[in-house]
A and B are shown apart, each in its own frame.
Chain A
Amino acid sequence: MTHQHPASAPLRVDLQLIADMIEPGTRMLDIGCGEGELLDHLWREKQVDGRGIEISQAGVNACVTRGLSVIQGNADTDLADFPAGIFDYAILSQTLQATSSPRHVLGELVRIGKRAIVSFPNFGHWRVRRHLLLRGRMPVTRALDYSWHDTPNIHLCTIDDFVDLCRDLDIVIERAIMLDSNGRPLSGIRGSGALANLFGEQGLFLLHRRN
């Protein structure tokens, strides 16, 4: 048997930011793991013991074919099985707004993960506001590229809304990074205040539940 470690392809910028938050040798669950780019990268670069949940069967099969541990499932229904605190990190990237119960899902993330990493498009971004204000129609932007009638994003929120929900659920925001539509961090924006809500096209949050 011969086998060579394939050189890891560069990660998407926002996934790289997530990867940078994760300590080596930890255990994590990637919910909505797609074809397993992040899982594969973290296993090869940081020996992270990763698991994945993916809604599309084609995505699951692609992940397992590349040697990753992934099951078919979705964030709304399949987190309940896991015991509390079983993962060091529970990751939900660009999916919260597509779940049927974001509040429940967010609570589950900080239950099963000692920390949760969540990213989502910000409906409070100035382009979104301008679009609605000037055109009077549901905003279609680079970060939210769907017509109102075919969008999977059924629970859009702003950064401020998300911060409020975290407060309600007794969730501590350890870090907040605002990103542009390409997933690059906005270096001028710190924290999750009014500027973040206006200029962040996406928000990326590191969270944990207050004990």
Chain B
Amino acid sequence: MMDVSSAPPLASQRVPPLSAEGKALTGHAFEIGPDAPLKLDCGIDLAPVTIAYQTYGTLNADRSNAVLVCHALTGDQFCAEVHPITGKEGWWESMIGPGRPVDPAEYFIISSNVLGGCMGTTGPASINPETGKPYGLGLPVITIGDMVRAQARLVDHLGIDTLFCVIGGSMGAMQVLEWASSYPERVFCAIPIAGAARHSAQNIAFHEVGRQAVMADPDWRGGDYTGQKVKPVRGLAVARMAAHITYLSEPALHRKFGRNLQDRAAITYGFDADFQVESYLRYQGSSFVDRFDANSYLYLTRAMDYFDLAAEHDGVLGNAFKGTKTRFCLVSFTSDWLFPTSETREVVHALNAVAANVSFCEIETDKGHDAFLLDEPEMFAVLGGFLKGCAEHRGLLR
């Protein structure tokens, strides 16, 4: 850990040019050099590693107001601003921003692209310095633990000893739990939303379907497609379509689309997108491939599959949090069948078993797993109150 007094001010940080999908990216970058490589769970020492990140708000004088935002499978560091590549608003502007629960007027917010990602952080599309070519499948397999270790190096670099809060949904919630388990003294409060302490068999199964769709695309070429004219966009789009269904709920799909037809009065007796729901999924698939790398999709889904916090602690989940002083607030959604409430409740039981300070709210909604990204006023009220309470305990309120 870096001594707070010797940490460099933010302004002096090196900001190398970043790029993703062949386009220049705005934002900060931090590099882990070969002198102190990143130790991966698979046993390999990885260097150099670039971590692309964004920050919002100002770090206070005693460096106690930092909030680390962990993104989900297909998210990135642009959580609270217009995305430089897609032009769409940040993926969590409902949660992060002026007047929102995580307000840059109060907190110094750090959001980095995960290891293995494709938005500037080292991933399969990055150049392998040993070959001068993209890693492709030559990149070691990444775990949630590896992502968190890389984030911890970034937090060291920023001169922050203890994070006020680590927050994230879905794969982000996995990172939050990993943070709280691996660096308990560095996390004052933790907010895992719509997550689990392990990936279920059903979820591994869905991920495998997505990976097989990518790998079945002849343009994938065993992962060695970078520099080719074509990319495995058809396989990746199918993977995204299948995954997208799991993010919604049956009632939400029915409410949105029912059996409504797409721009036509009657079925066409063909395989065109007759139904609105088909058209919607096709759009989701095709817009996804413009911003996401197929190999990254393989690596990140694998990282989620491998996640099993109890297994890393002799099969007892409570052991992952023994003696923790972190204040937890877990959130789940009634209609989320991908990361159901029962998975969150298991974490709550484990935290109770070690007498952790824990709050748990299940939010009533029909929006499924995606609810954590959407406008859920009750979630915002609960988390705003939780953060305010924690800020009071942390002495952040003046």
Contact = CB atoms under 8 A, between A and B. Distances in A.
A1 B348 contact: no
A82 B353 contact: yes
A129 interface: no
Interface residues of B, number: 31
A201 B117 CA distance: 65
Interface string B351-368: 011110111111110000
A72 B329 CA distance: 12
A206 interface: no
Interface in A43-66: 49, 51, 57, 60-61, 63-66
Among A3, A61, A68, A82: residue with most chain B CB under 10 A = A61
A67 B361 contact: no
A10 interface: no
Interface in B344-397: 348-349, 352-355, 357-364, 378, 381-382, 384-386, 388-392, 396-397
A97 B187 CA distance: 40
B327 interface: yes
Contacts of A61: 361, 363, 378, 381-382
B363 to A, nearest CB: 8
A3 B385 contact: no
B107 to A, nearest CB: 10
A83 B364 contact: no
Contacts of B353: 81-83
Interface residues of A, number: 23
Contacts of A63: 359
Contacts of B398: 1-3
B388 to A, nearest CB: 6
B67 to A, nearest CB: 14
A67 B354 CA distance: 21
A3 B397 contact: yes
Contacts of B389: 66-68
Contact of B361 (A51, A64, A81, A83): A64
Nearest to B330: A71
B385 A69 contact: no
A181 to B, nearest CB: 33
Interface in B42-65: none
B62 to A, nearest CB: 14
A70 interface: yes
A132 interface: no
Contacts, number: 73
B362 A57 contact: yes
Contacts of A57: 361-362, 364
A8 B71 CA distance: 39
B162 to A, nearest CB: 18
Given A3-B397, A82-B352, A64 B358 contact: no
A67 B383 CA distance: 9
Interface in A66-86: 66-72, 78, 81-83, 86
Nearest to A2: B398
B397 A1 contact: yes
B106 interface: yes
B378 A81 contact: no
Contacts of B357: 49, 51, 69
Contact of B358 (A2, A65, A69): A69
Contacts of A49: 357
B385 A67 contact: yes
B392 A71 contact: no
B359 A70 contact: yes
Nearest to A86: B355
A81 B351 CA distance: 9
A3 B392 contact: yes
A57 B381 CA distance: 14
23 contacts: A3-B391, A3-B398, A51-B357, A51-B358, A57-B362, A57-B364, A60-B359, A63-B359, A64-B329, A64-B382, A65-B384, A65-B385, A65-B386, A66-B389, A67-B385, A67-B386, A67-B392, A70-B360, A71-B352, A71-B360, A82-B353, A83-B354, A86-B355
Given A3-B398, A81-B353, 14 more contacts: A1-B106, A3-B391, A3-B397, A51-B357, A57-B361, A57-B362, A57-B364, A61-B363, A64-B329, A64-B382, A65-B384, A70-B360, A71-B352, A81-B352
Interface of A: 1-3, 49, 51, 57, 60-61, 63-72, 78, 81-83, 86
